[in-house]
Homo-oligomer: A and B are copies of this chain.
Amino acid sequence: MSKIDCVAMLLAGGQGSRLGVLTKSLAKPAVQFGGKYRIIDFTLSNCHNSEMDIVGVLTQYRPLELHSYIGIGSHWDMDRRGGGVFVLPPFARDQGGEWYKGTADAIYQNINFLELYQPQQVLILSGDHIYKMDYSLMLEYHRDKQAAVTIGVIEVPWEETHRFGIMSTNGEGRIVEFQEKPSKAKNNQASMGIYIFDYAVLKDYLRRDAEDTATSHDFGKDIIPRMVAEQQKAYAYPFNGYWRDVGTVESYWEANMDLLAERPELDLYDTSWRIYSENLNLPPHYIANGSSVKCSIVSEGSQLYGNVDHTVVFPDVYVAPGAQVKDSVLLPHVRIREGVVLDHVIVGPNTVIEAGSIISEQETNICEDAALKKYSGITLIGADKTIAPALSGAKK
């Protein structure tokens, strides 16, 4: 096997429990997003567009749908000879198997995969974010700086700095201090969880980290602070585009809504940086007489007879005459019956909302049950449910 410049390792094992029922039966990277995509499509499309030809995807939590979705990467045109996408679940060795204990441990357990390629650099990614980024530019930056590690950073609002790993850099972009989720941040440059390591350095730190029983085996908490402390050449690579962690129901809803702006920050229609995804072979969607569809994105196979405003409509969704859907996300195969009113609702795949149901921030006439959960004003309804109005139109 020939020597490869850079291998990407995509951490896709997260359970994403803060996404509620959306991750009940699938891993977070496999959650649908943006009217057609799954969250991991963005990172994998970035890899393809950045000509990162070899990508290991580390999975752990409920990977069935994720594995069969990823396959050998055909959706992203990455089923290439001698390259492509490799799914790397935890596995058993002579002495039995071990689950991944942390992000660093996950990479360490798959060091034999990296050894196959002997790359110059290793790009560490997570499958949890919505963004478009050219990793090859970051790789160039890393090489220009002759860095040991380069961390992708983005400016975040000062009041959110406590949620991130925060970098302080000198004039050349070299990291002089690293604070993991600080209560009092010295800076607002946050780590995006994107790292480029020189492979030799990475191996060394992973080995030492593995021997250390006191660590949590995490890049942000353990490896990076140690490298900064040991004066390794760690650089920050500033990224200015759209970047969202969709780790909570609220942020998932917001990132979907972001796509509906008149000029969205994230342009899905730019053919020079396509976001690839599965294609379902459904006919064009149908918008009926008497309906009104605006400020929305709508996918193939859907049939809209009612009013759809500021809403993300996935494939094969049906909205009956007289229904009103606003500020919502309708996942694939959802059925919205006559006269339904939805406002700020995320409806899971295959769910049916029966005629007359009203679900909004102000008012609802359905029984609140396990299928339905509220997150600061947004109602999340799980997959494969049937929701009907309560017999005595309950008011809240």
Contacts and interface: CB of A to CB of B under 8 A. Distances in A.
Interface of A: 13, 15, 17, 25, 59-64, 67-68, 71-72, 74, 86-94, 96-97, 99, 110, 112-113
B62 A91 contact: yes
Residue among A87, A110, A112 with most chain B CB within 10 A = A87
Contacts of A88: 64, 67
A15 B94 contact: yes
B61 A112 contact: no
A89 B86 contact: no
Identical copies of this chain, number? 2
A378 to B, nearest CB: 23
18 contacts: A17-B94, A60-B92, A61-B91, A61-B92, A62-B92, A63-B89, A64-B91, A64-B110, A64-B113, A67-B86, A67-B87, A67-B88, A68-B86, A71-B72, A72-B72, A89-B91, A90-B92, A92-B99
A90 B89 CA distance: 8
A64 B99 contact: no
Contacts of A64: 86, 88, 91, 110, 112-113
A-B complex: 7 closest residue pairs judged by Cβ atoms? A89-B89, A71-B72, A61-B92, A60-B92, A63-B91, A72-B72, A97-B99
Contacts of A17: 94
Given A15-B92, A91-B89, A92-B15, A97 B67 contact: no
A13 to B, nearest CB: 8
A59 B92 CA distance: 9
Contacts of A63: 89, 91
Contacts of A92: 13, 15, 60-62, 90, 99
A59 B91 contact: yes
A91 B15 contact: no
A62 B96 contact: no
B87 A97 contact: no
Nearest to A64: B113
Contacts of A91: 59-64, 89
A114 B172 CA distance: 56
Nearest to A96: B99
